[in-house]
Amino acid sequence: MSDKNAKAQAMVLAAGLGKRMRPITDHMPKPLVPVAGKPMLDHVLDKLALAGFDQAVVNSHYLGQMIVDHVATRTLPRVLCSPEEDLLETGGGVKKALPMLDDQAVLVANADVFWTEGAEPLFDRLTEAFDPDHMDALLAIYPVEGAFGYDGAGDFFWQVDGRLKRRGDAVSAPYFFTGVQILSPRLFENTPDGAFSSNLVYDKALASGRCFGLVHDGDYFHIGTPEALADAEIVIADALAHESAARTAKAAKAGGG
């Protein structure tokens, strides 16, 4: 990816309605719901800062002024707001923000997802793995069997060359999409104005053989309801403690080497 000091190279999707998280989201947008002591949005933005991103676009719609106010004083990354009067869905939201985003590749993450890191931070792994000569989309995926709180049938098969294949008519697929990805802005050429799903651009990348997957090697938590949040808190606290210990050990080993 190119110089992070140019246009924003990252976008966090924070415009969703959060209906399944009611009643918590009756008066608070889901990205501001606290997990492990701070809003989910801040967990994602903090990870971007650690990965070296100095600017990020954040979109908003439902209770959007709360999002705008929350990020107003943030300096790392500095947040560029992209408010949506009408909800544009995931694809339309990114397309609206393209003038503020890098024209080569953009890291896009949902604001309401939570993960702990594996051997290397997920954002670092994605940026290092993205190859614009061969890829238009690189999606972070996770094993269906390993995620906390996920009960879906999976989204993709991960092929031996790293390319993704949709579940299609199969009963299940071994991997699901985490909501974290790198996309080429060229995928949004000739897409509709207004609202549309990111599935439209994934289908373009899949059809051209330029949609790849990267398996996240840390923990992943699917938090869709208040009950799931309550169940996840203790497990997340343990996972974060393990992550912190691993990071400390890695730093000590590097210092001693």
Question: pLDDT of 187-199, one tens digit each?
Answer: 999 999 999 999 9
Extents of the domains making up the chain: 10-256
CA 126/CA 122 separation, integer angstroms:
6
pTM, 2 dp: 0.91
The pLDDT value recorded for residue 249 is 77
Architecture of domain 10-256: Alpha-Beta Complex (3.90)
The whole-angstrom separation of Cα 149 and Cα 20 is: 14
Q: In the chain, what is the greatest distance between 2 CA atoms, to the nearest angstrom?
A: 55
Q: How confident is the model at residue 257 (pLDDT cuts 50, 70, 90)?
A: low
If one compares 242 and 184, the residue with the highest pLDDT of the two is 184
> Residues 46, 68: contact at Cβ < 8 Å?
no
